[in-house]
Each structure stands twice: as C-alpha cells, then as structure tokens.
Chain A
Amino acid sequence: MSLLQVSELRGGYGSGADILGGVSFRVDPAEIVVMIGPNGAGKSTAMKAVFGLMQVRGGRLTYKDQDITGLPPHRVVRHGICYVPQEHNVFPTLTVHENLQMGAFLRKDSPAREMERVYELFPPLKEKRRQEAGTLSGGQRQMVAMGRALMLDPGLLLLDEPTAGLSPKFMGMIFERIQEINALGIGILMVEQNAKQALGMCHRGYVLAQGHNRLEDTGANLLANREVAEMFLGG
C-alpha cells in the first residue's frame, strides 16, 4: 500500500488556467521521494494540491487508501500529513516555542515528547526558544518550519525546497536531518533545486516539466540520466 497516491491530478489557482495537466506520483511508507523540475514546472503547485491549497479539477489523491481529494488544509493534517511550504513557513511574530506549539495544535495530549525530539534534532532552536521566529536567520527559520511540521508525529512530510537560499553548511545539515527524520519511519516528499544532493539521498525521484510528468526512476538512475544531467546538474 502506498502512503500517498496522486493520480492524474489536474488543476490551477482560482478560475485560472490549469497549471497541472495530469500529474501522477506516489510515496511509499518510509520513502524519500524527490521532485525536481525547472522553475514554474508546477512542483510547489503539486504540493499545494495535496494540501487543498489549489483548485483540483481532476484526478484523485489518496493517503493510506483514504480519499483526501479537495479536503481543506486543516482536515488534511488530521490524516497525518505535514507540510513545510517553500516561503513564509514560520509565524514571524510568534516565538520559536510558540511556533512549535502551533504545530501541535491538533494534539489532545501534551506535545512534550515531540518538542524534546525537535530540540534534539535542532539544538540551536532550544537556545532561541523565547525569540520571535521572524528575527532568526534563514537556516534557523527552516529548522523552526521543519520542527513545526514534526510536532504531530506525521506519517508523511512534504518539504518544498528546504535548502533554498541556505549556505552550504546549513544545506548539508538540513539534508542530514531529513535523513534522520526519515529513519524514524516518516515518509518524505521533497522538492529540491539542489538536484545532485537530493537525488543522491532519495529512494525515488520524479522530474516534472510544464505541469506534466517527465521522468520517474530511482535516485541513482536519474543521476545517471543524460537529460537530467543536462537540465539540472550543469551538463
């Protein structure tokens, strides 16, 4: 059984033209799946589709065999999917600690265990827990954003360009953490610009172009693919 299954997804924003013209992908349990593609290919849109943030006009989305097509965001989360958007992914005027608490909004029990786990994964956050997230550096904000998404102990984590704009030091660190998170049994669907590293660490990958599937293969095979090399790995 797949964790997430997206078939023939079609749709766009509001009443605008279709951005996705029938995209299909899946994430199996505890897999890392990477999605690459040129700017404007619709990668972020595909993630928003999973989260009910765009207008789905065709196709079907299931999570653990349950239909989640067209559910509003706060209902999708309940299924155990958490999402870190590409931009504006922290609450800037809330403290680090409050950001994490908001990630646990749906929990009935105390989130103390998850909170501890996030602070272990990202030690710098513990020192800054009383600081407003908007005052942090880009790398630290990304840690807050990922921490927030881990508070519900999700089965699947969607990460939209988690290393965008980060220094190489932070980039490597975030990639390491993603693998650690995955080792906990959490499935990962990740959009990445740094195709080489991302494909190197993933189980499977997809190449999207102009709102359609272009390629689909294991990470290693995609790295060896000529078309991928020309388009994303600098020739």
Chain B
Amino acid sequence: MTEILQLVIYGLVLGSIISLGAIGVSLIFGILRFAHFAHGDLMTLGAYFALVFYGTLELPMPVAFVVALALTAGVAVLLDKLLYRQLRRSSPVILLIASVGVALMVRSVIQMVWGTSNVVYDQGITMPYVVWGLRIKPDWLVILGGVAVLVTAVHIFLQHTTMGKAMRATADNMDLARISGIDTERVVMWTWILGAALAAAAGIFLGMDTRLHPVMGWRMLLPVFAAAILGGIGRPYGAIVGGLIIGFAQEFSTLVLPPSYKTAVAFAIMVIMLVVRPTGLFRGRS
C-alpha cells in the first residue's frame, strides 16, 4: 500500500510538470495548427535561465523563477517574429520541421553556454519528510503548489480576461476572430508568451526535482506530446488531465517494467490514442 501511495506521489509530481508543458503545446497547436517540437528545449532554456539568476547571481528563487519565465517568453516571441511568422502561410509540416531546427539550435546554444554536464540548483541533500512511511521531498510541495497556482492563473486568464477569451475564439475559428476585429497577431504573441512561460516553469520544476542537463527538456517532449494528444490537442484543460494520466502511467509502469521504459509507456499511450481516438479523451480537434 505504501509503495502504491508513494508511486501516486511520484506520478502527481511528474504529471503536473508534464501538464505545464502540455498546456503550451495544446495552446500553440490550437492557434497555429502545428506541433511545436522546440517546446521541450524551451523547458530546458527556462531551467538554465533560472540557474543564472539563482545559482550564479544568487537572487532568491521566486525572483529567479519569474525572471526566467519572462526571458523564455521573450525568446519564444522573438523566435516567432523572426522565423515562425514568416512560415505561417506555408503548410504546418514546414512549421513543424522549422521547430525541430529551433529545438536543435536552442540545445546547441545551451550546451555552448552551460556545458554538457549535470548541474543542480542546490548542492547537498535535503532530507525528505516521512509521513506514514511515505517519503515526501520539500521540493515536491513547492512544485505542486507552483503548478496549482499557475494552472489557476491560466484558467482565470482564459475564462475571465478579454485576451484569454480572444485566444479561445481564435483557436475556434481564426477567420471569424479576425472578422470580429480581433488582432490575431496579438493573440499569437500572447499564446507564445503563455506557452513559453509555462514551459519554463515546467523546466525549472523538473530541475528542482532532478537536475539540469541540456537534453532534460527534449526527453520530456514525448510525454508532453502524449499528454496533449490524450487531452485532445488544442484543448488546454484536457492537457492538464492528460499530463496527470501520463505521469501516473509512467510511474506505475515501474511496478512491472524497468524504469528505463517510462518514456516508452508514454509513447505507447500516444500511439494507441492516435489510432483509437485521435481527437483525445475529451473530443479535441483533429
């Protein structure tokens, strides 16, 4: 029983990190209709930005966190203006390939600047709390709390602000949004800001939970895509549920499979979903 509960906790932490990434992938797909392959590397970039401000400049983590989110969002907006925007009139496949290129580029820059070895935010080992025989790392509480705050913020943004509603409207029907007077280029910009900031947060939380490495985000891309597809691509709320399911599935698979198969589990779920129910659990767009 304790073992199962422990896995639930692992799954919750991993799943909520995946959810943050998947919300962004889902939003970007909803608006721009392409799978953003550089999303994992935006996660990595965010994690390293936080390292600069927390580790090197020794600012408090909350400050480093906010600055890293802002910088990552800035990079995404810049990438959109310089590259994706120019390709928006061509087919989604072109955009997808361009984003693979961006992914490689971002990773190379990270490797050049910060090297290829593992780094951690905090040296030394913090002792986990032990509650009813369950090990709970203090960082996990920070992560779960942070994800809860961010998801609530996204919800309020999408449901109660004009830009949030315009974003949902644009995802529904871009032509009709433009006809209604919505400046869809501004919507696109806010989509990148939101998606990239959430990716950065996911990267930082992942770095807190494990360690920083130039391919940390790239390795998360598959579970993140699996979560977005599971939730119905283009549906940010589905992506949250999808992320949690993938997180649990990956952790529970360790009961029967070696841990190195975790990613394969996400991949298998993604393929099964694409074959059986490509619109996702909650009727997303195809």
Contact = CB atoms under 8 A, between A and B. Distances in A.
Interface in B159-186: 162, 165-166, 168-169, 171-173, 175-184
Interface of B: 162, 165-166, 168-169, 171-173, 175-184
Interface in A131-167: 148, 152
Contact of A91 (B173, B181, B183): B173
A114 to B, nearest CB: 13
Given A78-B181, A106-B181, A152-B181, A101 B176 contact: no
Contact of A73 (B165, B171, B172, B178): B178
Contacts of A72: 178
Nearest to A103: B180
A91 B175 contact: no
Nearest to B234: A93
B178 A91 contact: no
Contacts of B172: 91-94
Contact of B180 (A53, A92, A93, A105): A105
Q: 3 closest pairs, A vs B, by CB? A: A73-B178, A77-B181, A106-B181
Given A74-B181, A77-B181, A85-B179, A102 B165 contact: yes
A18 interface: no
Given A74-B183, A74-B184, A105-B162, A93 B168 contact: yes
A74 B165 CA distance: 16
A72 B178 CA distance: 8
Q: Tell me which of A77, A83, A93 has the highest count of chain B C-beta atoms within 10 A of its own C-beta.
A: A93
A88 interface: yes
Contacts of A77: 179-181
A102 B180 contact: yes
Contacts of B177: 91, 102
Given A74-B184, A105-B162, A51 B169 contact: no
Contacts of A102: 165-166, 169, 177, 180, 182
B283 to A, nearest CB: 10
Given A74-B178, A74-B182, A85-B176, 18 more contacts: A53-B179, A73-B178, A73-B181, A78-B181, A85-B175, A85-B179, A91-B169, A91-B176, A93-B171, A94-B169, A94-B172, A98-B169, A102-B165, A102-B169, A102-B180, A105-B166, A105-B182, A148-B180
A102 B169 CA distance: 8
A194 interface: no
Interface in A42-57: 51, 53
A93 B173 CA distance: 10
Contacts of A89: 176
Nearest to A48: B175
A78 B171 CA distance: 22
Interface string A101-126: 11101100000000000000000000
26 contacts: A51-B179, A53-B175, A53-B179, A73-B179, A73-B181, A74-B179, A77-B180, A77-B181, A78-B181, A85-B176, A88-B173, A89-B176, A91-B168, A91-B169, A91-B173, A91-B176, A91-B177, A93-B168, A93-B171, A93-B172, A94-B168, A98-B169, A101-B162, A101-B165, A102-B165, A105-B180
Contacts of A103: 180
B170 to A, nearest CB: 9
A73 B175 contact: yes
A101 B159 CA distance: 12
Given A73-B175, A85-B175, A88-B173, A94 B180 contact: no
Given A88-B173, A91-B172, A93-B172, A98 B179 contact: no
Contacts of B183: 74
